[in-house]
Amino acid sequence: MFRLSILIFFTLLQFNLQAQKKQASIEKGKASFYADRFEGKQTASGEIYHHRNLTASHKSLPFGTWVKVVNLDNKKSVIVRINDRGPFTRGRIIDLSKSAAKKIGNLNKGVFSVSVKVYKKDKKTTRKMRRKKERHP
């Protein structure tokens, strides 16, 4: 029984370490930014999109997660908060607000190469979004 408990403990510990590695990993790919026609529209999190906010959409990161996005061409970076789902164009990993794209120098270029790394998870926002989803399935 003791051996089984030890085995289960180390197995769970291994899974936890793997999950932490995945969170700390850097995702590389293409980014774009929101078109002007999305201004004032509701995002998947329920927030209203404003181009001046430093926000972004990602396919799987929880709402409220802060990520650091680095332009791989000029090494400029910006920290944005995930508040929407997407992008839904093949090959893209993140869509930035217009202000975020401007900070890393790419308003003239529609699609650019970036790296994305989780900077900080905002547990308060994530919890609030989960509760909202539970109330409104």
pTM of the predicted structure, to 2 decimals: 0.72
- Listed in sequence order, the DSSP H helices in 61-97 are none
CA distances from 94 to 6, 23, 107 (A): 41, 16, 15
**Rounded Cα distance, 41 and 48, in Å:** 5
Q: Total domain count for the chain?
A: 1
Question: Is residue 110 situated within a structural domain?
Answer: yes
Question: Is residue 70 situated within a structural domain?
Answer: yes
**How confident is the model over 69-118, as pLDDT tens digits?**
999 999 999 999 999 999 999 999 999 999 999 999 878 888 999 999 99
Question: Is residue 93 situated within a structural domain?
Answer: yes
- Residue 99: phi, psi to the nearest 5? -65, -40
